[in-house]
A and B are shown apart, each in its own frame.
Chain A
Amino acid sequence: MPVNFIVSNIIVSVGVFFLLVGSIGLIRLPDFYSRTHAVGKSDTLGIILVVLGLVVHEGLSLNSVKLVMIMVFVGLTGPTATHALAKAAFRFGLRPWFRSDSADGTHEGEDHVDSESVGHEDEMDGGLGLDVEACAGLLRGDPDGDDDDEEGGGPACPLKRKEP
């Protein structure tokens, strides 16, 4: 068994480990902003390591130069795409997860009322992650969302259409 096959085997195994960690993190982490860590860092490192192992296996040729180009491209674009998505989510009004939200349902004591209201908002939310108080009219099924207190202060609903 040649030595470059062993070295590439080790590097590819480490890269596959990081890819697996990224996938599990995408499942297990509590909210969107923490899931972006799993995709932005762990996946990028895993892909770079797997392709590096394949470069070691391939040797010195035009194909390995192209593989190095893929490594550089993934290292540039993976975190950039994740950052753009996270910034869009922040502008959209998606709130980060706090410990007091207790999304897993194991709330006790004075956290009870807080998590009750959060669960109610999530139910009303319809799976979009909107700012619920600003979008209350829209989420209740009113197409214009102009039933209450929209000209006052407070955040504007991002889905609400303004008249031109």
Chain B
Amino acid sequence: MERYFIYLGVLLTVIILIPLYRVLRGPTLFDRMLGAGAFGTKTMVLVIVIGFIFDRIDMFIDITLAYAVLNFIGTIAVARYLAAMVKRSK
């Protein structure tokens, strides 16, 4: 049972590393931000799976909720900042 979650965590880590290509290579600023957002949302799942591996799911779920809120606020903040920059320059 635990071995299943360990394999799942390794697979999720490989999947999480793929958007880093877009963060590093992305042709525009928005591509980098999109890759960072995808990285964050997938990391949430990895944190839950780590909670199942360590059998401390009650603690790791709260970490996951805080991480989800921070990831959402970060993406929204960057989007609002760029939109406000355009609006001010017009």
Contact = CB atoms under 8 A, between A and B. Distances in A.
Contact of A22 (B33, B38, B58, B69): B38
A70 B86 CA distance: 34
Contact of B30 (A5, A73, A80, A88): A88
A5 B2 CA distance: 12
Given A26-B22, A84-B75, A94-B28, A51 B89 contact: no
Contact of A91 (B44, B57, B75, B83): B83
Chain A residues touching B, majority SS: helix
A10 interface: no
A9 B1 CA distance: 11
A159 B44 contact: no
B59 to A, nearest CB: 10
A36 B37 CA distance: 11
A66 B65 contact: yes
Contacts of A32: 28, 30-31, 34
Contacts, number: 153
Contact of B34 (A9, A47, A82, A156): A82
A16 B15 contact: yes
Interface string B38-77: 1001101100110010000110011011001101100110
A35 B22 contact: yes
B68 A129 contact: no
A146 to B, nearest CB: 13
Contacts of A77: 68, 72
Interface of B: 1, 4, 8, 11-12, 15-16, 18-19, 21-22, 27-31, 33-35, 37-38, 41-42, 44-45, 48-49, 52, 57-58, 61-62, 64-65, 68-69, 71-72, 75-76, 78-80, 82-83, 85-90
Interface of A: 5, 9, 12, 16, 19-20, 22-24, 26-27, 32, 35-36, 38-39, 43-44, 47, 50-51, 54, 57-58, 62-63, 66-67, 69-70, 73-74, 77-78, 80-82, 84-89, 91-94, 122, 127-129, 156-162
| CB-based closest 9 A-B pairs | A129-B28, A23-B18, A81-B75, A84-B79, A88-B79, A77-B72, A89-B30, A158-B86, A88-B83
27 contacts: A19-B45, A23-B16, A23-B18, A23-B42, A26-B22, A35-B31, A36-B34, A43-B38, A43-B41, A62-B58, A70-B61, A73-B68, A85-B30, A85-B37, A85-B79, A86-B30, A88-B82, A88-B86, A91-B86, A92-B30, A92-B83, A92-B86, A93-B86, A122-B27, A128-B29, A156-B89, A156-B90
